[in-house]
Structure 1
């Protein structure tokens, strides 16, 4: 497969010794990236484009970076999800097919890879979980997890980014026999299984929290938000989410990783489902609903927490939404306003990065409980299809993926 290189700055401008970007949506899958020294305003035409990599394959997934190598999934041939590795000269190092893509609707690759201890973990659109050597691209092990464990995938395919917990890879399968299965990350051997609470595998990737020295996996099926003991797969608690899916559209469509902070968990999923805040009991064995917010129903672009306020876009219908801020403690809506259309959001260095999904507008904004304070913006002109891939930040660089093209911008001061 071919890749092309656009050098708008000299390659030596890259400092490749920053913190690796090893999984979906940064630290704890929260949309937070621990970068500092970033631009607080961009030039009128946008930040400096350093690299453009074409030929990454059709996909909605985000890239990750480890050991100065970029890993990204995409469809380069019919019905096959392919994992590719590129260096920072935009040269293709290797690519490997790892599973069957989803072919019923929105067929682009969905799974963002996860890096751990020299290996890449990735899921196909039909629920095949694979482990690949990050240096050589050699397949180490693969399991057809959904089929093997009688799982069930919701109507638009598997979008999960596999979750590494120590020596385990935890993977949601859904269905009537199991909820989640954990595999030895080196061998692919089964370590534990969680019982089924019913419901198919929904779209949200699981996340890991550490609460009172206990590791708890937060997972969502089409029916429930579930807390799972990461050591043995025991289900600690569950909360029925589908009770709020009262309209015909979006039933079972739980879409975003939970947002966790100080013993509280926020979930949101578009389709006029209310945003829900939960509090964990002291022992972590129960949750209690703290508040509901009817304004912030994020479709699939994620939300972030900055200085006590949640930021993200809401859902008016599948092709339209506004941007919203909600107070974390009270659940009160701070503001709701338009910026072209709904989209995805991340945060770094006390700034917000918005990526609008319809026309590809990228905005830099200051967090504010009073208004949406856009500082700078520019438009993505390359690539095709919906702008659904979440942005990512690595070592002072902003990664924007649009379909078959990955663009890397210099946002360092």
Structure 2
């Protein structure tokens, strides 16, 4: 009887905690790659009307920022007039605090906050579209420090000459207790700041390449370790210990837009750009100090919706609104699902989830490159462009549309 009771308790625990997940501390998930690995026990197909809406939060201001979710608290940013605000909500949608952090860029016709706050050890870190790095207390929202990195590293140049056309859209990276940013100046194409007070720890000299809307990632593969990102005309790899440039691979972008962070596996590094340029895959040299072109493919031209790499297959939504999968090592097109919608794509518990510019949230089943669309629903609340990246955390799907954030229950149980 005692053994049966123990078994029943274990079964209840398994059912009650089917979703066991890590916090989503960064832009596009804990590993910044759009893959929410720890998410399990999710619905494999949504009801026709969509998953259950748990809550909505309004009044976020103009913004394309995604969300960070830590300890049941949800963080994001928004723009009000010329000023940006950082928000915290609880897991029922109640606003806990709002902090105005300073000026934001007009956006060249696309106004709104770009940055998704990065969480680390009780603090939130963000980069404004005008190039100011802000640190805030995650519990209270109190500003700890600010640094205008374009002024610090611009050597007297006017900020306008250092800004990308649509403003900086970088979500900051923490590596080895250092805050990594990409000022895109001659003095510092990349820089590391102290988490404590924003003091400069190291810089990587630049060469007239401004930042390109890309969020850096830490490359750890095959025994090699470096920070990898895209500038306006190059892919660069930087040593996180001292900022030394490991390699710079020339890769000019249309309109200087490299908004998709690289993904990699087994020494293959894939990058993609919109406007018909498509993507390229590079092979890292055995010594980790250079790359060579492995292949190019033009149909998967991802604008700023990100890509996911699952089991050696690249998945993304092209500018032409097709969802496309490619073999990582050869570039062979494995599947093209036409007219599903351009947008942001993530992966959780065996499913692709896309948020398209038409406002549809789409679920698809990937299988060795095949893409089977199984569900969709419409994000009706909010206004403006549907450009935010969705997030899944502990069985909740978060979708941001302009001034509105919606949370959906996507648990199977």
Question: What TM-score do you get using the length of structure 2 for normalisation?
Answer: 0.91
Question: Any residues of structure 2 matched to 1:21-100 within 5 Å, and which?
Answer: 21-34=24-37, 35-75=39-79, 77-100=80-103
Contact 2:21 2:40 in 1 (8 A): no
Mean Cα deviation higher: 271-280 or 120-129 = 271-280
Which structure carries more helix by proportion?
Answer: 2
Q: Distance in 2 between matches of 1:237 and 1:116?
A: 28
SS at match of 2:248: strand
> Compared with structure 1, are the counterparts of its residues 291 and 258 closer, same or farther at alpha carbon in structure 2 (3 Å cutoff)?
same
Asked whether 1:330 is paired with 2:340, we answer: no
Q: 2:199 aligns with which of 179, 189, 192?
A: 189
Q: Which residue of 2 aligns with 1:5?
A: none
Q: Distance in 2 between matches of 1:299 and 1:285?
A: 28
Asked whether 1:166 is paired with 2:170, we answer: no
CA displacement 1:203-258 (0-9 Å, x = unmatched): 1111111245443111211011000001100000011111xx5xxxx321111111
SS at match of 2:150: helix
Q: Distance in 2 between matches of 1:89 and 1:349?
A: 23
Q: Distance in 2 between matches of 1:178 and 1:279?
A: 26
C-alpha displacement of 1:282? 2.0
Q: Which residue of 1 aligns with 2:5?
A: none
Asked whether 1:121 is paired with 2:120, we answer: no
Contact 1:81 1:125 in 2 (8 A): no
* Runs of 4 or more consecutive aligned structure 1 residues displaced over 6 Å after TM superposition: 13-17
Q: Distance in 2 between matches of 1:33 and 1:108?
A: 26
SS at match of 1:339: coil
Q: Which residue of 2 aligns with 1:154?
A: 164
Contact 2:83 2:102 in 1 (8 A): yes
Q: Distance in 1 between matches of 2:123 and 2:93?
A: 21
Asked whether 1:285 is paired with 2:289, we answer: yes
Q: Which residue of 2 aligns with 1:352?
A: 352
Q: Distance in 1 between matches of 2:278 and 2:382?
A: 33
C-alpha displacement of 1:388? 0.2
C-alpha displacement of 1:21? 0.9
Q: Which residue of 1 aligns with 2:231?
A: 221
Q: Which residue of 2 aligns with 1:403?
A: 402
> Structure 1, unaligned stretches of length 5 or more?
1-12
Q: Distance in 1 between matches of 2:172 and 2:235?
A: 17
Q: Which residue of 1 aligns with 2:248?
A: 238
> Compared with structure 1, are the counterparts of its residues 14 and 121 closer, same or farther at alpha carbon in structure 2 (3 Å cutoff)?
farther
> Compared with structure 1, are the counterparts of its residues 370 and 326 closer, same or farther at alpha carbon in structure 2 (3 Å cutoff)?
closer
SS at match of 1:266: strand
C-alpha displacement of 1:50? 0.6
Asked whether 1:387 is paired with 2:386, we answer: yes
Contact 2:27 2:116 in 1 (8 A): yes
C-alpha displacement of 1:336? 2.2
RMSD over aligned Cα atoms: 1.8
Asked whether 1:254 is paired with 2:228, we answer: no
Q: Which residue of 1 aligns with 2:12?
A: none
Q: Distance in 2 between matches of 1:307 and 1:212?
A: 16
CA displacement 1:66-102 (0-9 Å, x = unmatched): 1221101001x21111111111232221111223211
Q: Which residue of 2 aligns with 1:20?
A: 23
Q: Which residue of 2 aligns with 1:339?
A: 339
Asked whether 1:201 is paired with 2:211, we answer: yes
Q: Distance in 1 between matches of 2:242 and 2:190?
A: 11
Asked whether 1:112 is paired with 2:146, we answer: no
Q: Distance in 2 between matches of 1:134 and 1:62?
A: 16
Mean Cα deviation higher: 303-312 or 392-401 = 303-312
Question: What TM-score do you get using the length of structure 1 for normalisation?
Answer: 0.91
Contact 1:209 1:218 in 2 (8 A): yes
Q: Tell which structure's C-alpha radius of gyration is larger.
A: 2
CA displacement 1:264-307 (0-9 Å, x = unmatched): 21100111113011111222111111111111110110111122
Mean Cα deviation higher: 389-398 or 334-343 = 334-343
> Compared with structure 1, are the counterparts of its residues 132 and 370 closer, same or farther at alpha carbon in structure 2 (3 Å cutoff)?
closer
> Compared with structure 1, are the counterparts of its residues 212 and 341 closer, same or farther at alpha carbon in structure 2 (3 Å cutoff)?
closer
C-alpha displacement of 1:315? 1.7
> Structure 2, unaligned stretches of length 5 or more?
1-15
SS at match of 2:86: strand
Q: Which residue of 1 aligns with 2:190?
A: 180
